[in-house]
Structure 1
Amino acid sequence: MRREQAGLTETVRDPDLFEAFYRRHVDRVTRFLARRVADPHAVADLVAEVFLAVLDSAHTYRPGRGSEIGWLYGVARNTHLAQLRRSARELHAAGRLAGRRLLDVDDIARLEERIDAESPARRALAAMAGLPEHDRALLELVAVDGLTPAEAAAALGIRQGTARVRLHRARRSIQQVPGVSPIMEGTK
Structure 2
Amino acid sequence: MDDPFEAFYRQHIGPVTRFVARRVDDPHLAADLTADVFVAVIESAHTYRPDRGSRTAWLYGVAHHVVAAEHRRARRETTATRRVAGRRLLDPADVARIEERIDAEASARRVYRALSAIPDGTRRLLELVAVDGLPVADAAAALGMSPIAARVRLHRARHRLRELLTDDIPLGGTTHEYA
Q: TM-score by structure 2 length?
A: 0.45
**When you count helix as a share of all residues, which structure comes out higher?**
1
Q: TM-score by structure 1 length?
A: 0.43
Q: Larger radius of gyration, structure 1 or 2?
A: 1
